[in-house]
Amino acid sequence: MLLKTLFAVCLLGATATAAGAIDVKELAPCKPAASRYCDHSDLSANMGNLLRCGAVLAQVSQRVGEGCRQVLRRYGQL
C-alpha cells in the first residue's frame, strides 16, 4: 500500500513538472532584450532568474519588440 502511494505521488509530481516546463525556444524573441536589460550577475538559468528577468522586461515593455511582448503576455508578465 505504501509503495503504491509513493508511486502515485511521484507520478503526479513528474506530471506537474512536465506540464509547467518552459520551452526555451518559446523565449527566443526576448533574448536580445534580456541580454540588454536583465541582470547577468547570476548566470544560473533557474526559475527565479527567469521571473525576475520577465518582470524587468515587463517594466520596459515599450522598448522591447512585439514578439517579446507576446511571450510576456503568454507567461502572465504583462
The answer to whether residue 52 sits within a structural domain is: yes
What is the reported pLDDT for 37?
92
What is the reported pLDDT for 14?
46
The answer to whether residue 12 sits within a structural domain is: no
The number of angstroms, rounded, from the C-alpha of 17 to the middle of its chain's C-alpha atoms is 13
pTM of the model: 0.66
**What Å distances lie between residue 43 and 4, 28, 38, 48, 50, CA to CA?**
40, 17, 11, 12, 11
Express each pLDDT in 18-56 by its tens digit: 445 677 788 899 999 998 998 888 777 677 888 889 999
- Contact between 52 and 70 (Cβ < 8 Å): no
Full residue range of the structural domain in which residue 43 is found: 24-78
